[in-house]
């Protein structure tokens, strides 16, 4: 094509200008790749951390006290009186899930559900000499629980199964064990709010990487907790559920709530503040990237306008010799697209190198966040998006000057 030949010559004739225009796109795309790789990496890390402490769906018996019905109503029912009861007190409520074993069986047969872990959660005091540290314990079937949260990889000392091999064993969060100055084999006494207490032997220590959990949570066999609380063997307060696809959690949670009438929180709702900050990061990434690319687009627009201004005579002579308006558009638009495509390609390479470098930078050591390096994700879709965007921007930026060039009246220029 003779049009591309001319376009190529124009680009090569002014290499420095071409390179500057390309660099605009290059930096725009490189920043986009770096930012999106890092931001999505952070999002992914947050999501992973969330999922390591939050089940896909958490079913529990929320305290809902019904104050509309009062015993006073029964008492005064024959008399024509307006009875007002101030500050009614709730009646004794059990926080357990009724028919827990039925629900658990039902959940286990659901094809969308891969894991079910029933547990009993309660507040306790960890007694440390004269000091009592507030926390809570989860009475679990450790096999089920560790399959949902992959506890095995979170263990610092011991294995989850050690809980089964020990009578009255306890697996403690790292922060808690540090505070209590406990190691494997040591004894700790727990006291429930009801006043009962029992001693347990530490068999393992875990660290999920979230301070609020590692500082307060311990795992004990379900039966031991039921025993500690003086409840029977069917007493369950919570059920954790893992789905085949965790993106379906919100709709599935609604479904389960309707079915069992127990509160069902999906992980996204339970971590809505984290999800919100993910969205903020996503928006930020796109806003910054689009801004950079727009600036690059204006750079191209300027350079194309300048080129066309310098090439007025050439355009006139080409038109006189039989090049049509479309040819002129093609000549200048292809220059702009060339700048865009190769600029974007260089940007992708630069972006990859920067992202890779970032992913090798050690994250400042922190007890609460289990992160060795800056979280960076390498997703081909981002690179494809960057390339498409890097070509579309110059296309739009080059279109107007090119059309302007095609409308140049050769007579005006040739007559001088």
Partner 1 sequence: MSTALRVENLNKFFHEPEDFQVLFDISFSVNKGEFVPVIGKSGCGKSTLLYLLSTLDTDYHGKIFINDRVLTGESQNNLARFRNENIGFVFQFHFLLPEFTVLENVMLPALKLGKLSHKEIEEQAIDKLRQLQMDKFAQKLSSRLSGGQQQRVAIARALINNPTIIMADEPTGNLDSINTGLVFDIFKELSHQKGITILTVTHDLDFAKNADRVIEMVDGRIKN
Dihedral (CA of 271, 276, 281, 283) sign: positive
Residue 312 found at the interface with partner 1 (CB under 8 A): no
Instruction: Kindly tell me which of 316 and 345 has the beta carbon lying closer to partner 1.
Output: 316
From the list 6-14, 288-296, 332-340, 380-388, the region that binds partner 1 by CB under 8 A is 6-14
Residue 183 burial (10 A CB sphere; 0-12, 13-18, 19+):
exposed
- Whether the CB-CB separation of 332 and 304 falls below 8 Å is answered with yes
Nearest distance from residue 317's CB to partner 1, in Å? 4
From the list 91-99, 119-127, 308-316, 379-387, the region that binds partner 1 by CB under 8 A is 308-316
Nearest distance from residue 51's CB to partner 1, in Å? 60
Nearest distance from residue 301's CB to partner 1, in Å? 22
Dihedral (CA of 31, 33, 34, 38) sign: positive
Three-class SS of residue 173? strand
Residue 306 found at the interface with partner 1 (CB under 8 A): no
Ramachandran angles phi, psi of 383, nearest 5°: -70, -40
DSSP for 99-132, please give it: THHHHHHHHHT-TTEEEEEEEEEEEEEEEETTEE
Select from 137, 176, 316, 376 the one that contacts partner 1 (CB under 8 A): 316
Residue 322 found at the interface with partner 1 (CB under 8 A): yes
What is the distance between the alpha carbons of residues 407 and 319, in angstroms, rounded to a whole number? Answer: 10
Q: Which residues have a Cβ under 8 Å from the Cβ of 383 and sit 6 or more positions away?
A: 33, 348, 351, 352
Instruction: Kindly tell me which of 88 and 325 has the beta carbon lying closer to partner 1.
Output: 325
Select from 111, 185, 364, 416 the one that contacts partner 1 (CB under 8 A): 416
Torsion angle of the four alpha carbons 36, 41, 46, 49, in this order, in degrees rounded to the nearest 10: 170
From the list 236-244, 281-289, 314-322, 352-360, the region that binds partner 1 by CB under 8 A is 314-322
Residue 411 found at the interface with partner 1 (CB under 8 A): yes
Size of interface with partner 1, in residues (CB under 8 A): 26
What is the distance between the alpha carbons of residues 416 and 410, in angstroms, rounded to a whole number? Answer: 10
Residue 320 found at the interface with partner 1 (CB under 8 A): yes
User: Per DSSP, which regions of 30-166 are E strands?
Assistant: 57-60, 113-128, 131-140, 155-157
Select from 76, 326, 356, 366 the one that contacts partner 1 (CB under 8 A): 326
Select from 131, 194, 276, 414 the one that contacts partner 1 (CB under 8 A): 414
- Whether the CB-CB separation of 195 and 165 falls below 8 Å is answered with no
Give the CA distances from residue 214 to residues 34, 47, 58, 370, 394, in Å, rounded to whole numbers and listed in that order.
Answer: 32, 18, 19, 12, 51
Instruction: Kindly tell me which of 112 and 409 has the beta carbon lying closer to partner 1.
Output: 409
Instruction: Kindly tell me which of 45 and 323 has the beta carbon lying closer to partner 1.
Output: 323
Instruction: Kindly tell me which of 331 and 387 has the beta carbon lying closer to partner 1.
Output: 331
Nearest distance from residue 322's CB to partner 1, in Å? 2
Instruction: Count CB atoms within 10 A of the CB of residue 25.
Output: 30
From the list 171-179, 236-244, 324-332, 396-404, the region that binds partner 1 by CB under 8 A is 324-332
User: Which residues contact partner 1 by CB under 8 A?
Assistant: 2, 5-6, 9-10, 12-13, 313-314, 316-327, 410-411, 414-416
């Amino acid at each position: 094509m003779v049009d591309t030949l001319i376009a190529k010559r124009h680009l090569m004739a002014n290499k420095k200008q071409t390179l500057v225009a390309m660099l605009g796109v290059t930096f725009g795309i490189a920043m986009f790749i770096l930012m999106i790789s890092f931001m999505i990496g952070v999002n992914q890390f947050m999501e992973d951390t969330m999922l390591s402490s939050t089940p896909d769906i958490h079913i529990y018996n929320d305290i809902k006290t019904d104050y509309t019905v009062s015993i006073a109503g029964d008492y005064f029912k024959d008399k024509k009186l307006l009875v007002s009861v101030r500050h009614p007190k709730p009646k004794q409520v059990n926080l357990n899930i009724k028919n827990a074993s039925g629900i658990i069986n039902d959940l286990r047969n659901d094809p969308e559900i891969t894991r079910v872990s029933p547990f009993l959660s309660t507040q306790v005091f960890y007694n440390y000499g004269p000091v009592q540290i507030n926390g809570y314990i989860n009475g679990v079937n450790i096999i089920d629980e560790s399959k949902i949260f992959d506890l095995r990889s979170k263990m610092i000392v011991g294995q989850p199964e050690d809980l089964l091999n020990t009578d009255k064993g306890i697996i403690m969060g790292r922060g808690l064990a540090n505070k209590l100055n406990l190691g494997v084999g040591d004894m700790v006494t727990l006291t429930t709010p009801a006043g009962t207490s029992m001693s347990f032997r530490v068999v393992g220590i875990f660290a999920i990487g979230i301070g609020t959990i590692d500082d307060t949570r311990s795992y004990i066999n379900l039966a031991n907790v039921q025993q500690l609380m003086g409840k029977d063997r069917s007493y369950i307060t919570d059920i954790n559920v893992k789905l085949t696809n965790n993106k379906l959690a919100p709709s599935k949670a609604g479904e389960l709530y309707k079915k069992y009438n127990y509160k069902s929180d999906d992980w996204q709702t339970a971590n809505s503040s984290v999800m919100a900050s993910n969205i903020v990061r996503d928006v930020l990434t796109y806003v910054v990237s689009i801004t950079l690319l727009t600036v690059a687009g204006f750079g191209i627009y300027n350079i194309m306008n300048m080129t066309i201004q310098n090439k007025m005579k050439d355009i006139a002579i080409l038109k006189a010799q039989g090049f049509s308006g479309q040819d002129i558009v093609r000549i200048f638009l292809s220059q702009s697209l060339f700048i865009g495509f190769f600029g974007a390609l260089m940007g992708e390479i630069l972006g990859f190198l920067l992202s890779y470098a970032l992913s090798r930078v050690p994250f400042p050591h922190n007890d609460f966040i289990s992160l060795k390096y800056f979280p960076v994700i390498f997703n081909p879709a981002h690179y494809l998006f960057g390339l498409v965007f890097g070509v579309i921007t110059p296309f739009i930026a080059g279109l107007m000057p090119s059309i302007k060039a095609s409308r140049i009246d050769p007579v005006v220029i040739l007559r001088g």
